[in-house]
């Protein structure tokens, strides 16, 4: 079974369109993330949700809106797509902070390659 | 702000050569350290991690890394690489004591192993 899954794997669309990427995890984790990997392979966090609550929101345009219907799902909706949005988007999940405050390992999905024409 | 530096952007080795990939981070507090690998066309997979204890950690596929606190480093090593190790390697850091579990990634090192 795939631990963290994303759909679609590839997404090609025109500028100005609105699109969504879905992510699901079956690891029983309570925290999920979205990362963006640019053309130079640099990975940067965008959002994080813990138990459906937004806990990390990096400097990301308002056109990007994450939605977490439950703690096993974190979807990413993008409005008015721009050329610069072309990238690979990775979803990840982990347990939240331990009571000691230590972090936990994040497990990544297969990625969604978004190409904006 | 925390940052992670990977000095080797592109490494080319022959099979059976030894590997060492550098990783340095900037953060004065306690950190958790990770190495992830991304094989061509695939997602990120965890190679190894350091949370506490023995600074020499062993991961999958014969990889190991050593945490040297005084040097703010977490270099990845493998004594003898194989062609199948060709991949992109990412060092990452997360800090604890705060309210979030954010991974800061380095820019990655592309390893090409020639048969």
Q: What is the span of the domain harbouring residue A108? A: 4-112
Nearest-Cα distance to chain A for B105, in Å, is 6
Residue in chain A closest to B41 (alpha carbons) equals A110
Answer whether the bond into residue A32 is a cis peptide, omega within 30°.
no
Residue-level pLDDT at B98: 53
Query: Does some domain include residue A117?
Result: no
Task: Specify whether the CB–CB gap between A97 and A104 falls below 8 A.
Answer: yes
Residues of B in contact with A40 (CB under 8 A): 107
* d(C-alpha A4, C-alpha A17), whole Å: 26
* d(C-alpha A62, C-alpha A68), whole Å: 16
Residue-level pLDDT at A103: 60
- Whether A41 contacts chain B with CB within 8 A: yes
**CB-CB under 8 Å, B90 with A106:** no
Minimal Cβ distance to A55: which of B36, B90, B99: B99
Domain count, chain A: 1
Nearest-Cα distance to chain A for B15, in Å, is 25
C-alpha dihedral, A26 to A31 to A35 to A41, nearest 10°: -70
Output DSSP code: residue B79.
Answer: S
Phi, psi of A80 (to 5 degrees): 45, 60
Query: Does some domain include residue A30?
Result: yes
As a whole number, mean pLDDT of residues B23-46 equals 89
As a whole number, mean pLDDT of residues B33-40 equals 93
The residue with tokens 């056109």 is A63
Topology of domain B3-114 in CATH is: Immunoglobulin-like (2.60.40)
How many of the other CB atoms lie within 10 Å of CB of A11? 19
Residue A31 belongs to domain with CATH number: 2.60.40.10
Q: Which two tokens stand for residue B67?
A: 């945490």
As averages over each run of 10 residues, the pLDDT of chain A (117 residues) reads 88 97 94 91 88 80 92 95 96 74 78 96
Domain ranges of chain B: 3-114
């Amino acid at each position: 079974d795939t631990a963290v899954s994303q759909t679609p794997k590839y997404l090609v669309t025109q500028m100005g369109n609105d699109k969504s990427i879905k992510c699901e995890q079956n690891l029983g984790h309570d925290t999920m993330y979205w990362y963006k990997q640019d053309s130079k392979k640099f990975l940067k966090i965008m959002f994080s949700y813990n138990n459906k609550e937004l806990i990390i929101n990096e400097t990301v345009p308002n056109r990007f809106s994450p939605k977490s219907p439950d703690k096993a799902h974190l979807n990413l909706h993008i409005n008015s797509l721009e050329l610069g949005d072309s990238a690979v988007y990775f979803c990840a999940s982990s347990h939240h902070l331990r009571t000691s405050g230590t972090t936990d390992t994040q497990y990544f999905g297969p990625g969604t390659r978004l190409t904006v024409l | 702000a925390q940052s992670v530096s990977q000095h080797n952007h592109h490494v080319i080795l022959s099979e059976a050569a030894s590997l060492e990939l550098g990783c340095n981070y900037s953060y004065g507090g306690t950190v958790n350290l990770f190495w992830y690998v991304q094989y061509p066309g695939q997602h990120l997979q965890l190679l190894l991690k350091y949370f506490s204890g023995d600074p020499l950690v062993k991961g999958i596929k014969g990889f190991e890394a050593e945490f040297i606190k005084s040097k703010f480093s977490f270099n990845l090593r493998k004594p003898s690489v194989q062609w199948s190790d060709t991949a992109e390697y990412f060092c990452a850091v997360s800090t604890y004591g705060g309210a979030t579990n954010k991974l800061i990634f380095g820019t990655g090192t592309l390893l090409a192993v020639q048969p």
